[in-house]
Amino acid sequence: MNRRFTLLWCALALVGGGSRVAHGAAALHEEIDRQVEAKLPTWKLARTADPADDEEFLRRATLDLTGVIPTAAEVRAFTADKSPDKRTRLIDRLLASDEYARHMAVVFDVMLMERRPDEHVPTAAWRAYLADSFRQNKPLDVLVGELLGSDGFQPKTRPAAKFILDRDVAHDAIVRDVGRLFLGVDLQCAQCHDHPTVTDYHHAHYYGLHAFFAGTKLFRQADGTSGLQETALREVTFASVFSPDVQKKTGPRVMDGPTMEVPVYKAGEEYVEKPTAKVRAVPKFSLREALSKTLPRAETREFSRNMANRLWAQLLGRGLVHPLDMHHSENPPSHPELLVLLADELVAMKFDTRRFLREVALSRTYQRSSLAPAGVSPDDVPEESLALANFKGLSAEQLLASVVRATGSEATLEREIDQAVKETLKNVKSPPDEDARLKARDTERAKRVAEFVDLFGAPAGTPEGEFQASLTQSLYLANGPSITGWLAPEGDNLSGRLMKLTQSQEIADEAYLSVLSRRATPEEARATAEHLERVDDRSLAIRQLVWSLLASAEFRLNH
């Protein structure tokens, strides 16, 4: 208990400290590098890996910030650029792009909804809302406030209510996920009893959060629109499954923070209007609204720490606290001071996502190679040391977008979608309007993404975990009809372009630049030449070559 008090006190003291940047200290990215490098002796490491070369860096940043590999032309242009600030300019260009907003929408959708099926708010509207939020760089505290506070009845913020509505307004799911995703604590096991292995997570923590949502329920308007209503409550009771007879009570409370003061109204006067079957229950004091203002703000240390850790993990491949939802004293951060700094800076930046990601991306730590220095065994360098770039598996969405881009199949994919739309609309009696056509296209596109998501995404309701490779995945990549189709030479797709080239060096370069975002090494060019020599059927040889690069670990991983 004492230790927790001390930690809390330290945390509070630091909140008041303000921003390093504001105080004219070193830029955040420099401070990140200083702290990471100072920590190397902890793991008995003498040095870090070299900086990533231009090609490795370009691929990594493009994948992390826009969700797809760079084109061959982008690789050529970036490597030809001799200006010293080209990496900074690249980061700024990527962060300013519309692809960034759309990629962040996917990243946050997957993080927040964990691929649950749509219930009330369609994914398209939700992603559009998120993309718009990232396009205008809406501060993260404002965004999370909207997610918790929206009741679903205001058109502007209706999509934000997806977080609660599409968890079927199930209190257990909401409480658990508010804990995990916004506070970095997984209270799942604390739902029925104190956590069996994590001594910091208490049954009361779970119910303290639960109290904010216990009154929230689904309400359907006469026109069928669904949204939220709320019964006025002040506290909840709970009992451990191990001692079901001992009833306990708690008021609304975020972790070890103060219990929220709930104003007392006379019986019958708790609501704005007396609720009936037709009148939505709206309490004069909404606990959920109160939480939407209390949780996502600087004073909630768990919140800024969690968001900083999650944004960091998006670029570095793991959190300073890892797993991301296991912030507790027996799972300390790899770099405690750095996590404090990042959380402080995120607060000082007023939860500015772009600025935060920019600083992290500018760091040497982020720009390190995944190639170990000569004489160092890479498996002896712990991931948390950050001395070597960590691998990240491409997400289902990154993988699909990158396979399509690498094989130059954008046009083929559009044609396949058109064809499917035509088939679908053939059976519709009335002539389809533009709206129906667009909808059908969205559906068809979503089907193709779903094919990848089913295989490469985490199951619904679970976070995207570490990279994993299954038999079903490799069978799909090897023999699945989509990829086999995209390998066939056709017009200007990659195999088509390679068929028109005659020099094996040109073939190797075009294939490697398009798929692996780098030039072939002399050894690889030689192996390519031998392969083309050995296989008489050029079309077959090209497909084998392109597939072998697509199916390589180098492509499958963000390295």
Partner 1 sequence: MKNVACQSASHLVSRRTLLSNMLAGAAGIGAAGQFVRPSVAAAIEAKQKRVLIVLLNGGLSQFESFDPKPKTKTGGPFRAIPTSVPGTHFCELLPHTARQAHRLAVVRSVFAEQVPGSHAAARDYVETGRSPVLGPYPLLGSVYSKLLAGKTDLPGNIHITPSRSGPRADAAFLGPQHASIALPGGAAPRNVDRPAIFTAEADEARYHLRDTADLRFSQRRRTAYTEAYHSSYDRALQLIRRKELFDVGLEPAADRDRYGSHDFGRHCLMARRLLGEGVTCVKITHSNYDSHMENFNFHLEQLGEFDRPFATLLDDLDERGMLDSTLVVLLTEFGRTPQIMPDLGRDHYPKSWSVVLGGCGIQTGGVLGKTNDDGTEIVDRPVHVGDMFHTYLRAVGVDSKATHEGRNQIPVAAPERAPVKELLA
Q: Please identify, using beta-carbon distances, which residue of 27 and 553 lies nearer to partner 1.
A: 553
Strands (E), 389-540: 392-393
DSSP conformation class of 427: T
What are 334's two structure tokens?
A: 């790899």
- Please report how close the Cβ of residue 176 comes to partner 1 at its closest, in angstroms: 8
- Cα 193 to Cα 244: distance, rounded to the nearest angstrom: 10
DSSP conformation class of 256: T
Q: Are 31 and 25 in contact (CB under 8 A)?
A: yes
Should residue 379 be labelled a site residue for partner 1 when binding is judged by CB under 8 A? yes
Should residue 51 be labelled a site residue for partner 1 when binding is judged by CB under 8 A? no
What are 479's two structure tokens?
A: 């023999």
- Please report how close the Cβ of residue 111 comes to partner 1 at its closest, in angstroms: 16
- Please report how close the Cβ of residue 230 comes to partner 1 at its closest, in angstroms: 21
Q: Please identify, using beta-carbon distances, which residue of 134 and 486 lies nearer to partner 1.
A: 486
Q: Please identify, using beta-carbon distances, which residue of 438 and 478 lies nearer to partner 1.
A: 478
Considering only residues 332 to 371 of the shown chain, the ones binding partner 1 according to CB under 8 A are 370-371
| 460 alpha carbon, distance to own chain's centre | 15
- Please report how close the Cβ of residue 318 comes to partner 1 at its closest, in angstroms: 12
Considering only residues 300 to 329 of the shown chain, the ones binding partner 1 according to CB under 8 A are 323, 325-326
- Of 358, 397, 449, which Cα lies nearest the Cα of 105? 397
In 3-state terms the chain splits into helix, strand, coil percentages (rounded to 5) of 55, 5, 40
- Cα 125 to Cα 152: distance, rounded to the nearest angstrom: 13
- Please report how close the Cβ of residue 26 comes to partner 1 at its closest, in angstroms: 30
Considering only residues 200 to 259 of the shown chain, the ones binding partner 1 according to CB under 8 A are 241-242
Which member of 40, 290, 298, 372 binds partner 1 (CB under 8 A)? 372
Considering only residues 459 to 498 of the shown chain, the ones binding partner 1 according to CB under 8 A are 459-462, 465-476, 478-481, 484, 488
Contact flags string 155-194 toward partner 1, x per CB under 8 A: ---------------x-xx------------x-xx-xxx-
- Please report how close the Cβ of residue 191 comes to partner 1 at its closest, in angstroms: 7
Q: Are 344 and 20 in contact (CB under 8 A)?
A: yes
Should residue 443 be labelled a site residue for partner 1 when binding is judged by CB under 8 A? no
Considering only residues 530 to 559 of the shown chain, the ones binding partner 1 according to CB under 8 A are 531, 535, 540, 543-545, 547-549, 551-554, 556-557, 559
Give phi and psi for 248, each to the nearest 5: -125, 165
- Please report how close the Cβ of residue 188 comes to partner 1 at its closest, in angstroms: 6
Which member of 454, 500, 522, 533 binds partner 1 (CB under 8 A)? 454
Q: Mapped to the 3 state alphabet, what secondary structure does 268-300 carry?
A: CCCECCCCCCCCCCCECCCHHHHHHHHCCCCCC
- Cα 155 to Cα 227: distance, rounded to the nearest angstrom: 11
Quick one: which H or E segment has residue 557? strand 557-558
- Please report how close the Cβ of residue 398 comes to partner 1 at its closest, in angstroms: 15
